[in-house]
Structures are given as C-alpha cells and as structure tokens.
Structure 1
Amino acid sequence: MTADTAVVVGGSTGIGRGVADAWAARGIETHVFSRSRPAGPGADRLVWHRLDFRDAERAREALRSGLPSRVGLVCYSAVYFTARREPFLETDDTDWTDQFAINVHGLAWTLKATLPALRAAAPGLFLHISSEVVYNAGPNRSGYAATKAAASSLVQSVTQETDPSQVRLVQALPAGMVDTPGIRARRSQDFDYSGYMAPATFAPLAAELARSRGAAEHGEALVVHADGSWTPVGDGAPASQSRPLANSPR
C-alpha cells in the first residue's frame, strides 16, 4: 500500500529533493523539513517546515509540532559538509560540531520523532541517505567520514531493534558525485558537472520504496547508479570520491 503522507528531512535541494519530488509526484502528501524553502518546479506540491539542527531545541520542537498525524514514509537527507576539504588538524571547531549536529544528532532526533508514527502506519518506511565515505573514508574529510559512518551504524543498530512488519529501514547512497547546491558552492563557476549524477536519479528507487514499503530491502544499503538502477552495497562498494593529497584543493 502506498502511504498518503511522507516526511523528507533535508528535502529542499539535492538528493532529498529528488526523493520528495518523486513521492509528491505519486500523489503523496509530502512534508519537507529544511533550512531553506523548496523552490523551482514542483515546490508547490511540498509542505515546508523550517528546521535547522544547529539550533537543537528549536529543531526538536519543529519535529514535535510539525509532523503530520499520520506518517508512512520518512527520508532523512539532511547533510552538512565543510566549505572545503582540509586536514583534520585544520578543521574548524564549529564545522566539526555542525557536522555532528546535522549528520548524526539530527538523524537520531528524526528517528525518535518518526518511528512511533511509522509503527502506527505499519509497515512504515525509513530511508536514510548515506555516502560512499562510510566505506572509503579518505584524506581531508575526517568530519564527514566520521559522521556519515556514525549515522550508518546508528541506522544499522536501529534496524536490528525493529520488527520489519512494523517499520522497514533502508539506506541509499549515490555511486558517484551528485550535482547539488552544496557541491556547487565548493566548485569554481566554470566547473563541468556533466559527469555528475542528478538528484532525480533517486526518483525510481523512491517510487519503488513508496510502492513496496521496502519489503525486500529492509536492512540493506543500496548503491544508486547514474542510470537510476540500484544494487546492494554488498555486491560492490562504490568508488571512493577522495582525491590524492597532492591534488586535493585547499
């Protein structure tokens, strides 16, 4: 059965927006919790709630007060990475704590806020947008690697605590770099994005998960490829997106 209400945390841009648009296109009432209001084509189909996990108390209140009474689908795609890659010893303390606030704590608060509603809509689905850095780490991205690995492990742990007849938990990650506003903020104006994936590449998986509620994917981490197909990470981890130290931009 397709859920009639969905929540996407971090759904105003990027992969989260690709998921939100895919669910809204199926006629699902889709609520987006994010720092910025969704804009552009399809934004009028999304119900926006302002949320910034860097303000912990207001973020938790936004989740408490803004969640619909019934939720069958949830996607957590909120993410923070620094403006540039840099060595661990040069990492700014604020950037470090913001990565944990959004990539880890925000995920935990969202799970706590939404799991009861997902159980009530059994079977509910929780989709977490993961990253290849969980499997590859890499130089000059210590905060991102640490927080995304922690987030992935958190979801794996919760999965083992959860009855799949009530809630299915699935993780998905792109096989390559994705063209998003956050990435564009780190690139030069003349950068060529033709080899990058688009957020809409996640739409086929989002649509299938809305249809099946992840019946066959519970506990899986799925690598989404540029053609919109997906494979379990156990079939082969995605290539590392780290750059050799000598070529890493500062």
Structure 2
Amino acid sequence: MTDQNGNRRRALVVGGSTGIGRGVADAWARSGLDVTVLSRSVPAGDGADRLRWLPTDLTDGARFAENLALVTEHPLHGVCFSAVHYGDRRAHFRDCGESEWRRQIEVNLHGLWTTLSRTLPALSRPGDPGVFLGISSEVVYNAGPGRSGYAASKAAASALLDSVTQEEGGRGPGTEAVRIIQALPAAMVDTPGIRRRRPAGFDYSAYMEPASFAPLARELALTAGAGLHGAHLVVDGGGTWSPVGERLPVSQSRAVS
C-alpha cells in the first residue's frame, strides 16, 4: 500500500506483540502496511515475519522516546496504542501498593501521552490524514470493585484522546489532518496477559479473540477512518462494531473477596 506520492505506507502498534494490538498489527500488515511493533516481547507465531519489532518497555522513557523517533522519521498512515498494565490481580484499593498505581499510570496513560506527542506530526497530512486508534475498555464506562487503578488510568486515557480529537477536528468532517478513533471489546479477550491472571483449566470458550479486531483494522487501513473521527466503537466477537452510544459495553466487574 502506497500514499499519494507512491511511498510505502507505514504503521506503528505500541503493545502489538500479543493481544488486541497483535490483532491490529497482523491485519494492517496483511493490508499492505509496513508495520513496526513496539513491545517488551518479540512477536511470535503466524504472521510475525511480516512485522518489524523494536524491543520497548514503556517505563523506560528514554528508550521509548528513541524508538518513537526512529519510527517517525517517515510519515505514518496509522498508529495503534494497545499497551496496557492491568495489575497483578483484581484487588481492593486498600490492598494495592503505590508501585502498581505508578506502573498503571506510566503505561496506560503516560505511554499514550508520549505516543501521541511523538506520532501526531508524522500522521498529520491535510488531504491525506493518518489514523490514530486507541484501544479502550469497558471499564471506562463501568468502574467496578478491584480495578481502581486500571479504571482511573483508562478513563483518563480516553478523556485525553477525546480532548485531542476536538483539537484535531479541522473545520468539519473530511477536513481532519489526523483522525482519532477509540475501540473496545464487547467482552473479555483471550490474551496472554489475561491468561496469567486465570487459574489452570479455565474455560476461555466465551472469550473473544484478538483477531476480532482485524475487520475494523482493515477498514481503517483502507479509509484512514473517514467518517469515524471521534468515534467510540464497541467491537464484538464476530468482528462487527457499533458506536458506544448504541450499545453500552457490558460490565466485566465482579465481587472481589
């Protein structure tokens, strides 16, 4: 896939070695984008050979900034921020330490801020806008017990994207230099991070797969999010999506003993 000047279109996925980010990265690569992944672990398995990888820990600010500088040496067609730190387990606020809180803020919120600040210039092209996809969560709408740090950091991240969306809105639909979209899963997603928090023998049959985000990712690769600037989309297990206002996400909160 090339831009209006015949140059290869590039994309970046922060947190793209596994989970939803990997689903987006694979779909973008299959759509013809030159995809770079920033993550702690190397992408593995089917499709990994299509992805470039720069080892990155978002809590290492200097290395994170260096890698973003490398990726943004050329214009970007798409950026996805999917990095997340849930915490070791669901626990009451009184049982959570400051170190966990700081890591959630560092990854979930400051990581997003850093990515936006470094990539918006590389995405901004009047007449040929890039797209920024932020992976959100139902916890933004359903704060619940045992998830105080995760809920607070994800809600703040969503508000940050909403604010930047208004700043990048141009003079109306079709005039944006960058299009910003948020998407979240309709249910739990089977990811390595979630599996680390579940007991042996847990039944994941009702969980979504990261590939459920592939149809939306392909749409964004082809259209750069035309008509979707500022949207909050709920993606279901079948790969279809709808605005949050039409279908509020189901709460995944549960009692914490």
Which runs of 5 or more residues in structure 2 are unaligned?
4-8
Contact 1:49 1:66 in 2 (8 A): no
Q: Distance in 2 between matches of 1:241 and 1:73?
A: 29
Instruction: Tell me: CA distance 1:199–1:2, structure 2 relative to 1, closer, same or farther (3 Å).
Output: farther
Task: Please state whether the residue corresponding to 1:78 is helix, strand or coil.
Answer: coil
Aligned position for 1:206 = 217
Instruction: Tell me: CA distance 1:27–1:76, structure 2 relative to 1, closer, same or farther (3 Å).
Output: same
1:19 lines up with 2:48 in the alignment:
no
Give the aligned CA root-mean-square deviation in angstroms: 1.4
Structure 1 residue 58: deviation in Å? 2.1
Q: Distance in 2 between matches of 1:223 and 1:96?
A: 27
1:100 lines up with 2:111 in the alignment:
no
Contact 2:82 2:134 in 1 (8 A): yes
Task: Please state whether the residue corresponding to 1:136 is helix, strand or coil.
Answer: coil
Structure 1 residue 57: deviation in Å? 2.1
1:6 lines up with 2:17 in the alignment:
no
Name the count of aligned residue pairs: 246
Contact 1:5 1:68 in 2 (8 A): no
Query: Which of 42, 61, 76 is the equivalent residue of 1:71?
Result: 76
Q: Distance in 1 between matches of 2:231 and 2:2?
A: 20
1:130 lines up with 2:144 in the alignment:
no
Report 1:1-250 matches (<5 A).
4-120=9-125, 122-162=128-168, 163=170, 164-243=175-254, 245=255, 248=256
Structure 1 residue 96: deviation in Å? 0.6
Could you tell me the TM-score, scaled by structure 2's length? Answer: 0.92
Specify the code of the residue in structure 2 equivalent to 1:100: I
Specify the code of the residue in structure 1 equivalent to 2:115: T
Deviations 1:102-152 (A, max 9, x none): 000000000011000000473110000000000000001000000000000
Instruction: Tell me: CA distance 1:20–1:68, structure 2 relative to 1, closer, same or farther (3 Å).
Output: farther
Specify the code of the residue in structure 1 equivalent to 2:162: Q
Deviations 1:12-38 (A, max 9, x none): 000000000000011210010111110
Q: Which has the higher helix share?
A: 1
Which runs of 5 or more residues in structure 1 are unaligned?
none
- State percent identity of aligned pairs: 58
Specify the code of the residue in structure 1 equivalent to 2:146: N
Deviations 1:25-68 (A, max 9, x none): 11210010111110111001000011111112222222123435
